[in-house]
Amino acid sequence: MTDERPVLHPRRIAMTDLSTLQSQILSDIAAASDEAALEAVRVAALGKKGSVSALLATLGKMDPEQRKTEGAAINLAKDAVTQALAARRDVLKAAALDAKLAAETIDVTLPLREPLAEAGRIHPLSQVWDELTAIFADMGFAIAEGPDIETDDYNFTKLNFPEGHPAREMHDTFYFNPKDDGSRLLLRTHTSPVQVRTMLSQKPPIRVICPGRTYRSDSDQTHTPMFHQVEGLVIDKGSHLGHLKWILHEFCKAFFEVDNVNMRFRPSFFPFTEPSLEVDIQCRRGKDEIRFGEGEDWLEILGCGMVHPNVLTACGLDPDVYQGFAWGMGIDRIAMLKYGMSDLRQLFEADSRWLNHYGFKPLDIPTLAGGLSS
């Protein structure tokens, strides 16, 4: 095939030939199917060796009168080609965008992101803290709190821990450096000092629970150096173990959200109670879970007993007039039992994935009426 485009003499350009060239270029522009083809047409017409550029290069060899006439015609043709190129480029870009949008569709039915006000999670320990507070408050208990840093007297002596007791050893307790008088402050090993402070500051009847952080030199799958306890204390003139059993029974039913819990009380020893008891509840152990209120297994969950007369005396109460009972349990431990957590240490790791799995939404407020964990 031969190129049928007109061959223009460099010295003289006929208007019909220029018009034919312009028409041919405009036709090529209109036929360009994409931006690459359009760029090829532009280079062929306006590039350094393009047909229109070649005509513009001949103007220097023409006489002034001819340059004036034919230069104007060539520039008009160049302007027409430039405008056509720009218009066609806009059309091709719009078509390419439409094709891309059609190929990359967006599913507008996807759910919206969770509002920031609901994106956070309440830590399971905070949730369980609120759960047990709601249960005991419904029974008429007040909440008592005390400092994490305690004296040896409140943490041990007034609780009937004699000198030389193993709990006073350095490897069991976090002690601060000795003061000038030789005394040492320590991180409390239980929340029992709050019971001491309550008995020293209030007159019976006393009904309080003492939740809070406690510290011991211990770390493994079921122990951490810092953990949480809740202890209860009742002091009155007629308190007895029957009252204690009923309180613990009702608490376990409400907390584990079951209709019935069978409990077993076993003799034990604690310096601050006499008699002392450990409490087991009936359960069924499965491969990945524990169910309460059924089965033939038993699980220890807390220790309790009648407050030792020596403790009452140390706190300024007459043991011949008043008697009471106390109990204590680990908040972390009962949280693990209720919500199926495998490792106590995970409660203290900063893993947002774990918190998203086990955590509670901010508006999931525990209530006895609506179900604690509903």
Q: pLDDT (tens digit, 0 to 9) for every residue of the chain, 374 residues total? A: 444 544 444 444 455 577 888 888 888 888 888 888 888 888 888 888 888 888 877 777 777 777 777 778 888 888 888 898 899 899 989 988 888 888 887 777 777 777 777 778 899 999 999 999 999 999 999 999 999 999 999 999 999 988 877 777 766 789 899 888 888 899 999 999 999 999 999 999 999 999 999 999 877 766 788 999 999 999 999 999 999 999 999 999 999 998 888 999 999 999 999 999 999 988 887 776 777 877 888 888 999 999 999 999 999 999 999 999 999 999 998 998 888 887 788 888 888 888 888 888 888 888 887 677 76
Cα dihedral 297/302/308/313 (nearest 10): -170
**Whether the model pTM is above 0.85:** no
Give the fold, CATH level 3, of 122-358. Answer: BirA Bifunctional Protein; domain 2 (3.30.930)
Phi/psi at 136 (nearest 5 deg)?
A: -70, -30
- Distance of alpha carbon 306 from alpha carbon 154, whole angstroms: 19
Phi/psi at 223 (nearest 5 deg)?
A: -140, 145
The residue extents of the domains of the chain are: 15-104, 122-358
Q: Is 274 annotated as a binding residue?
A: yes
Q: Return the DSSP state at 189.
A: S
